A and B are shown apart, each in its own frame.
Chain A
Amino acid sequence: MSGLRIRKGKALSQHPAIELIGIDKSFGAVHANKNINLSVAKGTIHGIIGENGAGKSTLMSILYGFYQADRGEIRVDGQSVAIKDSQAAIGHGIGMVHQHFMLVENFSVLENIMLGAEGGQLLAKGRSGARAELKRLEDEYGLEVDPDAIIEDLPVGTQQRVEILKALYRGADILILDEPTGVLTPAEADHLFKVLKVLRDQGKTVILITHKLREIMAITDDVSVMRRGEMVATRKTAETTVEELAELMVGRRVLLRVEKGEPKVGKVLLSVRNLTVKDSRGVVMVDDVSFDVREGEIVGIAGVAGNGQSELLEAIAGIRKPASGEIQLDGKPIADADPARLRELGLAHIPEDRHHMGLVLKFEEYENAVLGYHRDKRYGSGALLDLNAIRADAAEKIEKYDIRPPNPRLKTANFSGGNQQKIVVAREIERDPKALIIGQPTRGVDIGAIEFIHRRIVEMRDAGKAILLVSVELDEIRSLSDRILVMFAGKVVGEKGADASEQTLGLMMAGIAA
């Protein structure tokens, strides 16, 4: 079987399974990994935890040969190796289970497993061997799956099992799992953990990338913490606490406190009742969620990314049709309204992803300054756009929001992240909406712009607007919100006041406390 590589001397060697020494990687201006050192002992489950964008996935992609490090050394089993592509990684016994499965959906399980390790030019030759090997792996690790089932007919948890089997089939001794539970139900996640423990007990090494503290505490032996591209600490899991890890993850940042007075709360403007939203695959992402946002308050939704916040925002913004439930804006039902109608009704939306939604990067700045409001009378009474009005309007916002460079004719892609975000914020806020829903207002934005945007949001609140804020930055939620709802696995698991401690919220976000 050419698909399997028996690694010699694995029982004898005392070297760590993986050592990373001084790994450094930049993407343009983004320094994703800064001089990373990491040692993973054999036969352990090693967790790597960190917030979104901390550089975990980049590091693992380097280990799997998807990217090349700018500097640094990789040692597998004590040997310095060059991993120039995935083939090389597989050759060194490294397997990876990607966050987005790398499966061919209209292939059978067996075909997916064999892809790239077919065992000869003809499939028939390898097939029976593969089937037998698959059976052996299933029995050994408790990974039952029907080899003839077609992938797209299988539930997500089973698809993931196929991914794990794929790696094992290729003779992986070291298995990297990138946010494996993001797409799983709690029961499926529990099953996965059992499998991982079996794998470890059989001598495999598992690297688990996650931002969920609960998972780290539940199954890892060691844990390394990454923050902003750096490896900040490695601990024995048994010797650390959730609190310590949470603190290491977020770091002792200069808290960007925003001066704000007591909220003057009025009537309910935005009301969500029993809202359930499914994603394109039919998986429930928002599960029976209800809450209100009143005039003059900021309601923050805290939670680890992927717990339904994005889908909640999109449902309210009219981008994603809810499966069931009701949404009201100032007493009017809006669950069926499209984004254009919602804007007319006075709901502004700063989307989570400005590159794909909030802006058309190839447009000039002034064109983006009216995106979504371009049908408005003030930008042209008939079918035509009044460019003078639009450009004057854009210039005014540029002035007011200190957008640099102050050039409405510049292509939007040429503005920095912070200035791009200001273009979106200015557009949505300056329309003087009744309610404002905001996703990740300061993602990829420099400190100066963060403060500026935060102040604007608070001004909106003081002007009596209802504001719903979603952010994975706990700091941001804490410093801006008047009330905090915590989302976990699609549900609102609790509500806290603005004075809730970081630890309390962190535990709720991890699904541990309510």
Chain B
Amino acid sequence: MAFFVARRLLYLVPVLIAVSLLTFSIASLLPGDLAYTILGDQATPENVAALRADMGLDQPIWWRYLSWLGGVLQGDFGRSFRTGQTVLQAVGERLPVSIELMLLAQLGALGIGVPLAIICAARSGGPFDRFMTGTAFGMLSVPTFLSAILLIYFFAVELRWLPATGYVPFGEDPAANLRFMVLPALTLALAEWPSIMRVLRSDMIATLQEDYISLAKAKGLKASRILFVHALKPSSLTLVTITGINIGRLIGGAVIVETVFALPGIGRLLIGAILTRDLIILQGVVLLVGAGFVIMNFIVDLLYAVLDPRIRHGHA
């Protein structure tokens, strides 16, 4: 197990370096001069030259990368030239919102997808299975922003059950916080459950053909135990994989959902930074999101080992 973790950790380092390189290249190699962008209308050649010197833009590119990376490693991601906030402050303020959103969304997606997958697998080929498989396929073609609009229309505009936009911190008023979170989380969950359900269903159907399921039946175990312990546990590897793959889509979806529902999360910070050309914040957020994504995938890999004793003991 320790060896497994160490090997994975070792692989993490080059990937993180590559992520930082890519982030830096997007910001520095693409056409357009940062100093002009920042100064906008007030850009005179003198102002630009002064700012360039101030920001180190006149240094060679590799030097800029190294000094930027050096800063990042010491926790200095830079400071917004619009608000004066550091990247870490800005991200720190908004991260809890995004994390809450994604946790709720993932819970919702698993809550819808896993039971449906189990029922469909247990009754595969039946009318319910066919109906749900079709529904899931159709839902895969509904973009996040579409379900957001539909949910707002029905629950906020027509029924007026839930607020369309807004946010209250969880610490201030948990009930109100959850009321604001329901629709955004549901939007993301609606986008994620079909893939969970489809993959888990086909995996469960394959698992239910296994000899050990026949033996479990021959042992006289209850159907619930066969489904949830004997069949779901071997299939949960797939579940972890698909959940891991979905994280990337979830982060992208969170950007849209946070914008539509006006939640002050990382996604809105990113969109705001793009709209105000706040490039330091943008660079910092992209780097942190990329690194976070890589680390999430690393954790997913570790979960594999926890779930599958064969991997844990080094049998491939």
Do A and B bind?
no
